[in-house]
Amino acid sequence: MTAPRKPLRDVVAPDLDVLFCGINPSLLSAEVGHHFARPGNRFWPALHRAGLTPRLLTPAEDRELLRYGLGVTNVVARPTRTAAELTREELREGGEQLAALVGRYRPRVLAVLGVTAWRVAFDRPKAQLGPQPERVGGALTRVAPNPSGLNAHHQLPDLARLYGELREAARS
């Protein structure tokens, strides 16, 4: 049986420095076919401020990430209004699929953007942000804050600093 087609295409290639992994697509991202498309999402500004892209990219340019050794996917393929709509089972199954994807493409670092999703998907209830002791699919694994505008715990300068650390981890 073939896996169902994802409503939002992964931006992935072999041997990336960092594969960013969101929780799941927003309804808008699925509609327009590009990652982190909601206005107010801080993913694109954080990448640029971190020095990971030479200019501020738009969601419509998400395939450009590959030119900079970066990629993007999601733990769960199903689009929702909020990540709170996802079930534990979806997150766990998504974690298994993510591990297979990472094993196939071999990025140096996997950056899961959302500690709660990481905790559920990989059964790590006490995990914190930052480097994780285990590798997923062979990649160094770090958990970074979710860039959603709904996540008020981390501001754009924090996101930029933490995302910048990901490339450093890939190079060490």
The domain that holds 38 is classified in CATH as 3.40.470.10
Q: Judge whether residue 154 has pLDDT over 90.
A: no
Instruction: Supply the range of the domain harboring residue 70.
Output: 19-171
Q: Can you give the pLDDT at residue 150?
A: 66
Per DSSP bridges, beta strands 130-131 and 140-144 are antiparallel
Measure Cα distances from 131 to 40, 62, 110, 139, 142 in Å. 27, 25, 10, 11, 4
Q: Distance between CA 62 and CA 64 in Å, rounded?
A: 5
Residue 165 located in a structural domain:
yes
Q: Distance between CA 96 and CA 110 in Å, rounded?
A: 14
Q: How many domains does the chain have?
A: 1
Mean pLDDT of 119-126: 95
Residue 142 located in a structural domain:
yes
Mean pLDDT of 119-132: 95
Confidence of residue 147 (pLDDT cuts 50, 70, 90): very high
The model carries a pTM of 0.94
Please, are residues 136 and 98 in contact by the beta-carbon 8 Å criterion? yes
Residue 9 located in a structural domain:
no
Residue 5 located in a structural domain:
no
- State pLDDT tens for residues 46-77: 999 999 999 999 999 999 999 999 999 999 99
Pick the closest to residue 123 from 54, 132, 85, 154 (CA basis). 132
